[in-house]
Structure formats: C-alpha cells, structure tokens
Amino acid sequence: MIRLFVPNDLSAGAGVAPTVDQSRYLTQVMRLAVGAELALFNGRDGEWRATVVEATKRGCLLKAEDQTRPMETGPDLDLIIAMVKRSRVETIVEKAAELGARRVRLTMTRRTNVDFVKLGRLDAIAMEAAEQTGRLDVPEIADPEKLDKILDAWDPARRLVFCDEGGDAKPAIEALAGTGGPAAILIGPEGGFAPEERERLRELSFVTPVSLGPRILRADTAAISAMTLWQAAAGDWR
C-alpha cells in the first residue's frame, strides 16, 4: 500500500489535501482513482488508512478512515555528519532515515570543505525514505553548526559515539555492547578530524571513541556502517 507523509492532524473522517506534487504522484504516476486506499502518517498520530474521495487534474482530496498503527518512535539516535559533497550527504540522509535515526545534524569541522547544502532537498529525501521504510516519523534535518558549538552545548546524558580513524579505539561492536539510552554518532569529513578536534573529543566524559575497522571509509560508508553496528548492539534490532 502507498504510504504518504502529511502535516495534517489525522483522525477518523479528517480531510487531507495533498501537495501538488503528492497529488500528481497519486493520480498521474500511481493512477489512484476515487475509492482507492492508501496509508497516511504525520509523525504524531500513528498511521491511518485513507481513501481518495476526489481526484481531478487539479489535485485530489483524501479522507482518513481508521487508525491502523498507533504512534511509536524508534531509538533516540542522532547522526552528526561533517558536510561532504552533495550526493554523499543525500545518500547519508536517506540511509539514516532507513536505519532509524531520529535526527541528522550537519556539522562543520576544521577540514570541512563544503559550506552549502539544500535543506529542503534533504527534508524531501528523509520524508521519502520514511514513507518507504514503514516508520511513523520523519528524521529532523538540523541546520549546519560548527563542531565546537555542538560540543559546547552538549547534554552529557546523551552518549556521543565518536568514529575515530586514529586506529587505537576499540572496535565499535565491542565498545557499544551493553550501552543504551540516548545516543549520537559522529562522522568526520573526508580529510578526517584535525588533531585538536580528536584530542578534545577523546577528553570528553560523554564520548565513546570507536573504530570502524582497518580500512579508511568514505563518509557515507562510515555513517551506514556505524549506524548498523549501533543498531545491532544498542538499538531496536536486538
């Protein structure tokens, strides 16, 4: 069944007017007609079965019928990624949504050489991934911030998993065993963290340095690998 994210409140009998692009997708691409069923979710009210009650060339109208799944969220996991090339950031956001991240935070480090990103495009990618994977919420994509600013404001109740390419950290699956609670994964830029950044991170009490193995990974590969290992060790895959 087609799943669609909408901002509207969902309840029995509620009318929902999709965006122009969503309407075009439903009626012209998927060729849904009046009476066709689909699933709606908004990140607050769970998932609802809905029907198409009006379909014209100018758009369509949907009606929520009954709730099929109550609201639930996955683990409280952030992914913090140093900005890299656009195509790789887009891949990271898509896979972060598929792998259950609640938020994706973009950061600028000493060696970051990309300073512009289209947040609207990333929001759309996260929404499409959420629709396809069956999750009931869409990851938040935060505005880019400097790494120092993020660390200065950090809540120590959230464990920060620092993917350290220095070579002397414990393997991720070993370091994460038995951990739980709110967490974040930090992935550096293609050039790696500067020595002073690495030193500061390893001195912070809330940071757990981990190794992703003997090979040097690109940022997108590192993000996917780290999230997979975290989910297996501490997330909702157990």
Tell me if 122 sits within 8 A of 93, measured CB to CB: yes
Q: Are 199 and 98 part of one and the same domain?
A: yes
**What mean pLDDT comes out for the span 53-79?**
94
**Final residue of a structural domain among 48, 69, 90:** 69
Same domain, 214 and 117: yes
Q: Quick one: 7 and 24 in the same domain? A: yes
Which CATH number covers residue 193? 3.40.1280.10
Q: Tell me how many domains the chain contains.
A: 2
Q: Which residues constitute the domain of residue 56? A: 3-69
What's the sign of the alpha-carbon dihedral 89, 94, 99, 104?
A: positive
DSSP state of 198: H
Domain end call among 18, 50, 69: 69
Query: pLDDT for 131-187, tens place per residue?
Result: 999 999 999 999 999 999 999 999 999 999 999 988 789 999 999 988 889 999 999
Residue given tokens 């998927």 in the structure block: 30
Same domain for 227 and 161 = yes
pLDDT at position 123 is 97
Q: Using CA atoms in the order 197, 170, 153, 7, what is the torsion angle rounded to 10 degrees?
A: 120
Among residues 69, 104, 121, the one where a domain terminates is 69
**Token code pair at residue 29:** 């691409």
Query: What percentage of residues in the chain have a pLDDT greater than 90?
Result: 90
Question: Is 0.85 surpassed by the pTM of this model?
Answer: yes
* Cβ atoms of 19 and 35 closer than 8 Å: no
- Residue 215 and residue 87 in contact, taking contact as beta carbons nearer than 8 Å: no
Q: 123 and 227 share a domain?
A: yes
Task: Based on the fold, state whether residues 152 and 185 are members of the same structural domain.
Answer: yes
Among candidate residues 171, 157, 183, 152, the one with its CA nearest the CA of residue 209: 171
Specify whether 64 is located in the same domain as 102: no
One domain, residues 130 and 65: no
Note the Cα 115 to chain centre separation in Å.
Answer: 20
As a whole number of angstroms, the distance between CA 104 and CA 120 comes to 13
Q: What is the mean pLDDT of the chain?
A: 95
Residue 65 sits in the same domain as residue 152: no
Q: Do 145 and 53 belong to one domain?
A: no
The larger pLDDT score, comparing residue 37 to residue 114, is at 37
* Closest CA relative to residue 91, chosen from 68, 121, 71: 121
> Is residue 38 located within the same domain as residue 105?
no
- The answer on 88 and 35 residing in a single domain is no
What pLDDT is stored for residue 168 in this prediction?
87
Task: Give the least confident one: 14-28, 29-43, 109-123, 202-216.
Answer: 109-123
